[in-house]
């Protein structure tokens, strides 16, 4: 089955700096890669996703890149703000079965004002 | 407002007791899921259901049971057979097709006392 690894587990940046979180996956059949943001005591919320037919997707200050050959994808947050502080999860799922979605262990991002 | 609702937010259970966590969605989604979240770990799949009256075990189903009698509802029972039930439980739903977004509830924190 799919195995998703996520790094780093914690990340601290100054407000205005960029933050990068990286994930690798093992199953070459995976074709959907969402990123979720989880604030304290709440459920995760989708912030951006990418499918395997594109290499990059951007939404304002957030971007995701995908390298299918190397089986890794990354989340980039530019001009970070204190409200970006949260736990971020990457995930990967197979084109054959959405119930096979696997999550990374999470990255706790702290943006210092 | 469409969404997915979990209740209660906090739950305390004595050892040896069964307890049921509620999950309701009004998104008209076919698929529903239960995940367990422990500190420093990703979300682990307990059970999922793709359609009413049908459900499948996930990676860590032992000590848990579910039912799916209505499309809107997917309750999770944590039985006394679950040896380490203290955790944060998340319910999610999706339209059911492969490679689609999962919508999460706010979670239930279960503590065994």
pLDDT of residue A58: 96
Q: Mapping DSSP to helix (H, G, I), strand (E, B) and coil, where does residue B41 land? A: coil
pLDDT of residue B1: 59
How distant is the Cα of A11 from the closest Cα of chain B, in angstroms? 14
Under an 8 A CB cutoff, do B31 and A95 touch? no
pLDDT of residue B96: 74
Does pLDDT of A50 surpass 80? yes
Strands A10-14 and A107-112: parallel
pLDDT of residue B79: 94
- Any CB–CB contact under 8 A between A53 and chain B? no
Q: In chain A, what residues touch B40 (CB-CB under 8 Å)?
A: 9, 105-106
Under an 8 A CB cutoff, do A42 and B107 touch? yes
pLDDT of residue A102: 86
pLDDT of residue A52: 83
For a pLDDT cut of 70, what percent of chain A falls above it?
96
Give every CB contact of residue A9 below 8 A, 6+ residues apart in sequence. A105, A106, A107, A108, B40
Helix (H) or strand (E) holding B106: none
Q: Where is pLDDT greater, at A7 or A28?
A: A7
- Binned average pLDDT, 10 residues per bin, chain B of 113 residues: 88 92 95 90 89 92 97 96 93 81 93 91
CA distances from A73 to A8, A37, A92, B34, B63 (A): 13, 16, 10, 25, 35
pLDDT of residue A15: 98
pLDDT of residue B41: 79
Does pLDDT of A98 surpass 90? no
Cα B13-B38-B4 angle, rounded to 5 deg:
75
pLDDT tier for residue A4 given thresholds of 50, 70 and 90: very high
Q: Where is pLDDT greater, at B113 or A1?
A: B113
Interface of A with B in 17-46 (CB under 8 A): 31-32, 34, 36, 41-46
Does pLDDT of A97 surpass 70? no
pLDDT of residue A71: 95
pLDDT of residue A77: 98
Q: In chain A, what residues touch B103 (CB-CB under 8 Å)?
A: 46
- Using only C-alpha atoms, chain B has a radius of gyration, in whole angstroms, of 13
């Amino acid at each position: 089955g799919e195995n998703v690894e996520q790094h780093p587990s914690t990340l601290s940046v100054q407000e205005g700096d960029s933050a990068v979180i990286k994930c690798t996956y093992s199953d070459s059949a995976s074709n959907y890669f969402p990123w979720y943001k989880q604030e304290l005591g709440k459920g995760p919320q989708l912030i951006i996703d990418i499918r395997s037919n594109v290499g990059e997707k951007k939404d304002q200050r957030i971007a995701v890149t995908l390298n299918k050959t190397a089986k890794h994808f990354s989340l980039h947050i530019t001009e970070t703000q204190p409200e970006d502080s949260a736990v971020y999860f990457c995930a990967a799922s197979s084109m054959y079965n959405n119930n096979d979605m696997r999550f990374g262990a999470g990255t706790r991002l702290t943006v210092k004002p | 407002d469409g969404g997915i609702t979990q209740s209660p937010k906090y739950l305390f259970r004595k050892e040896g007791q069964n307890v049921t966590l509620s999950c309701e969605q009004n998104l008209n989604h076919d698929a529903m899921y239960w995940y367990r979240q422990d500190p420093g770990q990703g979300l682990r799949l307990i059970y999922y259901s793709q359609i009413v009256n049908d459900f499948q075990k996930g990676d860590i189903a032992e000590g848990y049971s579910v039912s799916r009698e209505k499309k809107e509802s997917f309750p999770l029972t944590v039985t006394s057979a679950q040896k380490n039930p203290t955790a944060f439980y998340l319910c999610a739903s999706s339209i059911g097709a492969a490679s689609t977004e999962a919508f999460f509830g706010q979670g239930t924190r279960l503590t065994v006392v």
